[in-house]
Amino acid sequence: MINKYTIGSPINTDAVVESPESQPIDSFPLKISVAEQTVIRFNLGNSDAVYGLGESPRGINKRGWIYESWCTDETNHTEDKRALYGAHNFIVISGKEKFGLFIDYPGKIEWDIGYSKSNEVRITLSGSDADFYYINGSTERDITAQFRRIIGKSYIPPFWAFGYQQSCWGYAKQEDFFGVRDNHRKNNLPLDCIYMDIDYMDSFKDFSVNKELFPDFRTFVSDMKSHNIHLIPIIDAGVKNQKGYSVYDEGHEKGYFCTDENGDEFECGVWPGIVGLPDFLNKDAREWFGAQYKTLTDMGIDGFWNDMNEPALFYSVKGLEKANKKLDELRSKEVDIWSFFGMKDAVLGVQNSNDDYASFYHNIDGRRVCHKDVHNIYGTFMTRAASDFFEKEFGREQKLIFSRASYIGAHRGSGIWFGDNFSWWSHILLNLKMLPSVNMCGFLYCGADLGGFNNNCTEDLLLRWLALGVFTPLMRNHRALGTRAQEAYQFEHTEWFADVLAVRYRLIPYLYETFRRCSDEYDMMFRPLAFDYPDDPLACEVEDQLMLGDECMIAPLYEQNKNGRYVYLPEDMTLVKLSGEKVEAQSLEKGLHYITAALNEVPLFIRKGKSVPLAKPALNTAELDTENLTYLKG
């Protein structure tokens, strides 16, 4: 059962598609105080768990830390962080009393979950206009399903988007893409997509192509498709402020960019230099921006990734002027340790400044709204501009689209990826722990940059990470400019990578059907063991294993120089080790087991009485035989 409570006049975020009638706020079942900020408090039992918050740092159980809902361009995904790229305001309390809470509020929220007081949750909204949804249910899975019903079914991408995908910030010319394609084929490595980061653009301008590097882009796209390779270009939120650039000229003429307090166009800097930020919360501006994708779809492009849409701000023009003024003041003084730190703060403070987020405005149905009050839906409405256009022009399930920033509701039209992670072993585990949390919030098409975006990847790290990525709907290897090359064919044992990637393609029929079922039935593809075995105390504490669908459990290896790991089985299961076409099965009883897996093996646990279909390996999804399947049985 779901009850809704409303305070003030909330911004319509479009997060909810089926909303119950609002109840009087004085009947809200939790302690709530309303002033300039709204605060909710309630107590936790000693053993209660708190699940949810989608894309956020730390563990599956969120107790013991402070989290923030504030879409953040945060590269360092370390334990001290409070916010990442998504704002997913849904939690489930699991204890003697079970309930869910969704706060539909697009501004900043602080979630103190047993941090200040170990047995208290304190939720602080930066404002007072919000909708609150309180969900009663018999189980955590039931509560989540009820929530998923009111926010709508999850986006389903094209079938080929379940194939393996290769990306790199640094593929800058046609020959780079031909090389990736040809090296995959030469080494028997499957591949369906190659990504085009900002290098393909003309001076980093959205919806443009560098004609010197890609003299005949349409033919290039067609040639790649003839080899069953889909090219996926990036689109950033900022539009380069340049007269003669048609996208900017039209947006400027029609008043489609965000404005400052004086009504002038807000100017900030990102990759192209000074840009205008499209006002995606303005319906007309959103439709205009969505139509710009046609420039690339007309040339055969059928997938995109939206980036920098928190929005990320390298600086604002006014913020940079303020910082320079501060530096000039400090330069005129003797440089001591305090003036040095002042200089440092002045420089570092210009990027993603809260002052900047409070200094520009949107036009929402004729109402002028400060960005800080709607910050968390900016990226969602950018991606909605694309998804609405794609559905109108091409129908559902025809285009791949996913985003870095997101809010609940974005899941109906796109997927997400987990942003700029690192080539760290700990980030395999972080990747794993995010999966059930974002599934709870509707995001089924999701995944991390396999191998890590930043730093230098090693062969064993990538192989172990791919053995997790085999199961995630989005399976993309991506790295940053200047880091070690981490395409599968760049390492010593290319045949090991071929073994692991073959497993992905063998599992695609199962993964795709499980994905569709979870969308149709408002279910989670990945679940904590506690959701399936709530009466098993050991299962409820496990955070490095996940249930996959109704048939399987996964337990990846995530430590360096380890050939195995301990796995807890909450029931009798069959351990299957998959490598290329090789299948090795072993029945195991409920309990704790030490299992081993070679670097070219993918371990999978199948529940008793369940079965998983396997296809023959293929080099791309177009060649995948989804009819003649064999079955792994538990």
What pLDDT does 203 receive?
A: 97
Q: How many structural domains does the chain have?
A: 2
92 close to 141: Cβ distance less than 8 angstroms: no
Residues linked to residue 165 through DSSP beta bridges, in sequence order: 193, 476
Residue 495 lies in a domain: yes
Tell me the pLDDT of the chain averaged across its residues: 97
Domain end marker among 121, 151, 181: 151
Pairing of strands 164-166, 193-196: parallel
Q: Is the pLDDT of residue 344 over 90?
A: no
Read off the pLDDT band of 245 (50, 70, 90). Answer: very high
Residue 89 lies in a domain: yes
**Burial group, residue 601, by CB count within 10 angstroms (0-12, 13-18, 19+):** buried
Residue 40 lies in a domain: yes
What pLDDT does 343 receive?
A: 80
What's the whole-model pTM score? Answer: 0.97
pLDDT tens sequence across 218-238: 999 999 999 999 999 999 999
Residue 507 lies in a domain: yes
Pairing of strands 526-527, 475-477: unpaired
What pLDDT does 236 receive?
A: 98
Residue 336 lies in a domain: no
Structural domain that includes position 68: 2-151
Residue 191 lies in a domain: no
- Mean pLDDT of the region 165-170: 98
pLDDT tens sequence across 445-474: 999 999 999 999 999 999 999 999 999 999
Question: How far is it between the farthest Cα atoms of the chain?
Answer: 78
- Mean pLDDT of the region 27-31: 97
pLDDT tens sequence across 354-389: 999 999 999 999 999 999 999 999 999 999 999 999
Closest listed residue to residue 65, CA positions, set 21, 104, 134, 117: 117
Q: Is the pLDDT of residue 333 over 80?
A: no
Residue 513 lies in a domain: yes
Domain end marker among 129, 151, 173: 151
- Return the CATH number at 571: 2.60.40.4040
Residue 107 lies in a domain: yes
How many of the other CB atoms lie within 10 Å of CB of 396?
Answer: 11
**Can you list the alpha helix ranges (DSSP code H) found in 293-377?**
294-297, 317-331, 337-348, 354-357
Write the CA distances from 422 to 78, 378, 428, 465, integer angstroms: 10, 26, 10, 12
Burial 155-186 (b: 16+ CB within 10 A, else e): bbbbbbbbbbbbbbbebbebebbbebbebbbe
pLDDT tens sequence across 583-628: 999 999 999 999 999 999 999 999 999 999 999 999 999 999 999 9
Domain end marker among 97, 127, 151: 151
- Return the CATH number at 77: 2.60.40.1760
